[in-house]
Amino acid sequence: MSKKMAIIGGGPVGLYLSILLAKSGHYVSVFEKGTWPVDKVCGQGIMPSGVELLKTIGIEVNNEESFSFSGVRYIDGDNVIEGRLKRPGLGMDRKVLSSKLHQLALLDSKITLKDQSKVDELSLYDKAVSISTNNNFEVFDYVFICDGLNSTFRRKLDLEVKRKGEHRMGARVHFECEPWCDKVEVYWNNGVEAYVTPVGNHKIEIAFLWFEKSIEKGAYLEERLFNLFPELSNKVKGKTKLNDFKAYGPFNTVSMAMKKGPVFLVGDAYKFLDGITGEGISLGLKAATVIAKNFENFSFIHKLKIGLIYLNYAIWVKLALMLSRNLIFRKIIFKFANKFSSFFDYILIMNDVQWGSKNS
């Protein structure tokens, strides 16, 4: 029987979920506080598992608006190693991804898209949930919270947990230029990484991730970040910068549960640990796929499927952060990877497992 549902947050995960739910015959309202297309600080590289899921709902890919990358190249001074992906990943500007998902959702008459609709309150009843936006009050059978890293509703539902350890931050800026490499490049410095993701035949994005203590807060953040990577700075010298530098973070809160009664937390609202493994979007899409199919009879098995996907993510994030922080560990790994050329290929495959989240 078709249900009436609300999605709070029209980021990539919220929109993707709305399309899956509507395809199964449910009536879905998506509440987005901003206006589509919605921008966000992100590395903008989508791992192959995420690309596959986007294709199943009809997202089309072309080289003017996106870039199929073949792997990841890691650069630590003179040491360079590469990992090849089995299937291509996709570099796509966040606004392009948002626009494509929005266009698809518009085509489905079961989806009502409400922009400039910030949800203010949510109340849980036995078998229903009410939400209020701009003084309007509506009741739904299910609500899916997809309101991102700083989720208000995770806090309101008493599910927020602060993570221990050093906080991480992120930033991004775009350049208009031809990508010089068909892979995502990752430049390492102690505690700071720079990512170059081609997002089209004439556009790249540079994202930075760092431990909060590694970089002082304050003025000239962009210049100070680029100064840590002279080789990269030289590569973009003279290229047209789009002046959209934006920082974001810290990433230090998660949810202790993915469900409370008829309310589910999906995407970053559930968990985002770090951008270092380039997985946030794929993870959210995988979890959304499991939830869309099983929300009515959500059992231990479904929780386990999503739990394993996030456990795998947590392990690789931990290892990658060790690499970021520890120069000696990084040198050992780079040496090992240079000896065994397929070592990083396997790591990339292990990093991007699908585990029961195929949408077919």
Ligand X SMILES: Cc1cc2nc3c(=O)[nH]c(=O)nc-3n(C[C@H](O)[C@H](O)[C@H](O)COP(=O)(O)OP(=O)(O)OC[C@H]3O[C@@H](n4cnc5c(N)ncnc54)[C@H](O)[C@@H]3O)c2cc1C
Give the binding site for ligand X (CB under 6 A).
Answer: 8-14, 31-34, 38, 40-46, 118-119, 146-149, 152, 170, 207, 209, 248, 267-269, 272, 275, 278-282, 284
* Nearest residue (CB) to ligand X, 81 versus 273: 273
Closest distance of CB 345 from ligand X, Å: 19
- Select 246 or 335, whichever has its Cβ closest to ligand X: 246
Q: Which residues contact 35 (CB under 8 A, 6 or more apart)?
A: 115, 116
Comparing CB distances to ligand X, the nearer of 32 and 185 is 32
In whole angstroms, give the CA distance from residue 216 to residue 115. 36
In the complex with ligand X, which residue's Cβ is closer, 87 or 331?
A: 87
* Residue 273 Cβ vs ligand X, minimum distance, rounded to whole Å: 10
Angstrom distances, CA of residue 16 to CA of 40, 117, 286, 336: 16, 18, 10, 39
Taking the least distance from each CB to ligand X, the nearer of 46 and 85 is 46
Give me the least distance between CB of 293 and ligand X, in Å please.
Answer: 18
CB of 198 to ligand X, least distance (A): 12
Give whichever of 45 and 48 is closer to ligand X, judged by the CB atom.
Answer: 45
Rounded to 5°, angle at Cα 4 from 139 and 37: 95
Q: ∠192-236-327 over CA atoms, to 5°?
A: 25
Tokens of 282: 């794929």
CB of residue 288 vs ligand X: minimum separation in angstroms? 9
Q: Which is nearer to ligand X, 2 or 118 (CB)?
A: 118
Smallest separation (angstroms) from ligand X to the CB of 341: 24
Measured from the CB atom, the residue of 123 and 338 that comes closer to ligand X is 123
Closest separation in Å from C-beta 321 to ligand X: 14
CB of residue 128 to ligand X, shortest distance in Å: 19
